[in-house]
Amino acid sequence: MTDQYDIVIIGCGVIGSSIAYHLSEYKQKRILVIDKGFPLSGTSGSTQAWVWVHNKVPSWYGELSMYSAELYPFLERKIGDVEYKRTGGIAPFFAQTDWDKALRLAEEQAEVGIKVEVLTRDQVLEKEPALSPKIAGATYSDMDGNVNPFRLVELYIKAAKRNEVEFSFYNPVTEMVMEKDHYKIYTKNKKDAITTERVILAGGPWSKEIGELLGLDIPVKQVRGQVIITEPLAPFLKHTIGGMRQAENGEVLIGFSKEEVGYDRRTTMDVIQETAQMAINYIPSLAKANIVRSFSGVRVIPEDGFPILGKIPDKKNAYIAAMHSGVTLSPLVGTLMAELVMVGETSICLKRYSLKRFMNYA
């Protein structure tokens, strides 16, 4: 590790590591990625990891998710097998009154080219016989799938290393000073500052704290999600279901709870039991499955729910990428951020996602 870089990325989850890899494809810059823990110690190591498109609304947000999902097969050809599976996604609903909503969703998403089908109960059960006959119907799209986030981050890092990106783990960034044409970055393990022309904040749920180092108030919430996991079961779920998926090794990952409890990664019995009940409502046969463990992760959710992406207004050469659904968006966000930094323009307009939208209120 030297002291001088062109680009320093703070945070090595699915977002930071993707940006690093995509930047490294240009093979022009000296790049360093710093993480306070190990690469999956944040949210990217405690996620459901659906690559989920079909009910992301409004449609412009769905569109972003779709483009990212489209990039996954291409990404795999470049960095290796990340166990991306385009399983198709089913989001069941129980009330007849949800039909209208489902039809509206299909219409809205069609405008941007996302194909969403509204399935009757019989059609759903034909696709996924394990689902409860109590459901009224479901929305379905063959765009949806899931990925192994552990392999994803590992392979991003390996590929980036081949392109000479450097990494520094277990090394929290503690201070940042903006000087005339560069940033000085201080970390716990290094007495002297690291100098860099550009800095990219990819700190996930710690975005607020990292933003504060630059005197910024990043408007994100920390939202805990608890997930329960069954013993390995013989493969019986073909699709990614809005609520659960069966992993390659047979375990079913269940849950999507949301609680604002700060950075507290414990699990609670209340949510575990609610989640188990939800699972049985969806898939009655799961009542017989043993739950072997649970985990929780902390989502970073921007105040308005949509990604914060792009240049940081009023801070020269500083960028940010903070979002929920970062697994879905990872390949696209990496591509666009690399374009932004290297070319100055992006192939998809990022104006809507700028941090600036929150600053107008001030």
Partner 1 sequence: MKTDVLIIGGGPAGLNAAIETASRGIKTIIIEESYALGGQLKQQTQFFNNLPKQFDRQRGIHLMRTLIDRLSPLPITCLLKHKMIGVYKDGRIGIANDTETFPIDAKKVIVTTGAAEETDLFPGWTLPGVMTVGAAQILINRERVLPGKNALIVGLNSFSAEVAKQLKACGINILGVMDKTVSVNDKKLVEGLEDKKIRVMVNTVIERATGAGEVKKVTINNDGKKEDLDIDLICIGKGLAPILEPLEILDCEFGFQAKLGGLVPKYYSTLGTSNPSVYVAGNAAGITCLGGILLTAEIAALNALKALGVLNDNEVKVRSSFLWDELRSMESEESIETFIARVAHIKEFHEECELPLPASFHAILEGC
Ligand X SMILES: Cc1cc2nc3c(=O)[nH]c(=O)nc-3n(C[C@H](O)[C@H](O)[C@H](O)COP(=O)(O)OP(=O)(O)OC[C@H]3O[C@@H](n4cnc5c(N)ncnc54)[C@H](O)[C@@H]3O)c2cc1C
Q: Give residues 149-178 in contact with ligand X (rule: CB under 6 A).
A: 172-173
Q: Give residues 273-332 in contact with ligand X (rule: CB under 6 A).
A: 297-299, 323-328
**Nearest Cα residue to 183 out of 169, 167, 194, 172:** 194
Burial class (CB in 10 A: 0-12, 13-18, 19+), 280: middle
Determine, following the binding rule CB under 8 A, whether residue 249 of this chain makes contact with partner 1. no
Rounded CA gap, 256 and 182, in Å?
41
Output the CA–CA distances (angstroms, integers) from residue 267 to 115, 120, 236, 242, in the order listed: 36, 36, 27, 21
Determine, following the binding rule CB under 8 A, whether residue 268 of this chain makes contact with partner 1. yes
Q: Give residues 219-238 in contact with ligand X (rule: CB under 6 A).
A: 225, 227
Residue whose CB is less far from partner 1, 36 or 224: 224
Rounded CA gap, 293 and 232, in Å?
12
Min CB(82)–ligand X separation in Å:
13
Residue 185 near which of partner 1, ligand X, none (CB within 5-8 Å, type-dependent) = none
In the stretch 337-356, what mask flags binding to partner 1 with x, by CB under 8 A? --------------------
- Are β-strands 190-201 and 220-230 bridged in parallel, bridged antiparallel, or unpaired? unpaired
HSE (CB half, 13 Å, CA atoms) of 275? 27
DSSP state of 312: P
Rounded CA gap, 7 and 183, in Å?
10
Rounded CA gap, 163 and 23, in Å?
9
Residue 56 near which of ligand X, partner 1, none (CB within 5-8 Å, type-dependent) = none
Determine, following the binding rule CB under 8 A, whether residue 230 of this chain makes contact with partner 1. no
Beta bridge partners of 335: none
Q: Which stretch binds partner 1 (CB under 8 A): 53-61, 154-162, 186-194, 260-268?
A: 260-268
Residue choice 120, 273, 285, 347 for contact with partner 1 (CB under 8 A): 273
**Nearest Cα residue to 309 out of 343, 281, 277, 341:** 341
Q: Which stretch binds partner 1 (CB under 8 A): 59-67, 137-145, 229-237, 262-270?
A: 262-270
Q: Give residues 294-313 in contact with partner 1 (rule: CB under 8 A).
A: 294
Binding residues with ligand X: total (CB under 6 A): 40
Positions touching ligand X (CB under 6 A) are: 10-16, 34-37, 41-44, 46-50, 52, 172-173, 202-206, 210, 225, 227, 297-299, 323-328
